[in-house]
Amino acid sequence: MANVDRLINWKTDAWKDPQMVAWYSRRMVENSGTNRLNNALETSLIAQYCLGETVLDVGIGTGRASLPLVREGKQVTGVDSSQAMLDETRRLADGLPITLIPGDVLDLPVANQSYDTLCALNVLTHFPHWREVLPHWASKVKPGGRLVFDVYSLDHLRVATGKALTEADMLPREGDDSSISRFNLRIAVEDLVTAADQMGLTIVAVVPYRGFFGSTDTNQLLAPWLEGQQRWERLLSWLATDQRMLDCALFLEKHFIAPLTSQVSGKLMLVLDHRPDPSANARWLARNTEMNAILASERLSLPMLTPYLPASAEQICDQLAQHLLPLRNQMLLYRIVKPMLANAQRFDLASLLPDPVFGRFVDWFRRELLDQMASRVAGHWSTCLPAEQATHYEGVDVAVATQYALTERLLTEHLGRFSGVRT
């Protein structure tokens, strides 16, 4: 318990340093990597699920969730434990009518049942005592009002690791101070349903997001294929400047991540209404479980998921085909579906992709396998030489310089997949 208290205190105090606030403010508007995509996803989800005219933004930070709501005419009150954050929000508001007051996640200095919606962006993710926080938050919204906030998914981590992890496993260990700053709250949806029933809350939606393009919350199922690969990082960097690629990424998130389950992504947006309805919560959990069973099928195709998606299979395929006209978008999607190409018996990508694109993806995948095979042979041939024919000179393996030419010969003369003609 002492370590949990230290965690809560550290997370509460971390953003009171004006220099940290200044860095955070710049980071929130920095147009680089996946930052632009993440901001578009999170602010659009807050706007989509916001009810009514009065909004309480807990841990308002720099106001990126609620300043757009103010511009739409909403009456917003922002609370933050950091006066430096409130000052920065006031600066960014630039005269917009917004109420800003200091407060804590467990001590919101506003009247009970005062707001139509309470939103919190990247706030509860820092704290383990969510079962104490949620009833306090719910008390501030009107009966039938709404809570919208993000957490990380314990269900996703369980599937990715194959381990029956618990919330306790996520807590920093005693004496490991460095892990306190890295803590992120992960919730399992079965625990969420139990808590919602006890607190008189109804689950409206649990929206997975950042399924393909995360960072700390990256899709752990795809991480072995994508993390640390320079070509993937270079592709993602284009999201900052290529509008067509950004539109494609948003389409993939909206149509293939958001409608699915708490297992498909490391990040979740939770939407709860302040009204009791245990039967609705049970129905939601049953649907989530049903989808998980489909996702675990021995053979998975687009028609199997269509009942849960926001459009028909034909509409989705047509829209995806339009997004895949730019070659750069094809390269982006290829990197995402590459694990499925490696497990073609289980994933029916032909039911999703246009025929020319599917054929191109299969060809790219086969060429990569051949490249890897040839590179392995070329990289190890010198190790087979007798000691007296060693290729090292003054500590440098000069055989490395021959590997490119040897790889070309292997691909051209033995594998038949490279012409050898340079253009």
231-246: per-residue pLDDT in tens?
788 888 899 899 999 9
d(CA 361, CA 271): 37
Query: Beta strand 141-153 with 115-120: parallel, antiparallel or unpaired?
Result: parallel
Average pLDDT of the residues of the chain = 87
Instruction: Please report, to the nearest 10 degrees, the dihedral formed by the alpha carbons of residues 169, 139, 137, 258 taken in order.
Output: 90
- Higher-confidence position of 423 and 51: 51
Q: Which of 120, 141, 159, 122 is nearest to 53 (CA)?
A: 141
pLDDT of residue 393: 60
State how far Cα 285 lies from the chain centre: 21
Phi, psi values for residue 266, rounded to 5°: -80, -10
Neighbours of 178 (CB within 10 A): 7
- The whole-number pLDDT of residue 244 equals 96
Q: Per the confidence metrics, is the pTM higher than 0.85? A: yes
| pLDDT value, residue 423 | 44
* pLDDT score at 416: 64
pLDDT of residue 14: 65
The pLDDT value given to residue 326 = 96
Euclidean distance between CA atoms 287 and 115, whole angstroms:
30
pLDDT at 383: 62
Tokens of 176: 């490991």
How large is the average pLDDT for residues 59-80? Answer: 95
Q: Please report the domains of the chain, with CATH numbers, ordered by start residue.
A: 2-211+257-295 (3.40.50.150)
| Token output for 412 | 């051209």
Question: Is the pLDDT assigned to residue 123 strictly greater than 60?
Answer: yes
| Banded pLDDT at 338 (limits 50, 70, 90) | very high
Instruction: Kindly tell me if the per-residue pLDDT of 65 is higher than 60.
Output: yes
Whole-number pLDDT of residue 212? 83
CA 73, CA 97: separation in Å to the nearest integer?
9
Write down the pLDDT at residue 237: 87
Distance CA 133, CA 138 (A): 9
- Which comes out higher in pLDDT, residue 15 or 46? 46
Position 34 scores a pLDDT of: 83
Least-confidence region, from 109-118, 219-228, 264-273: 219-228
275 band by pLDDT with thresholds 50, 70 and 90: very high
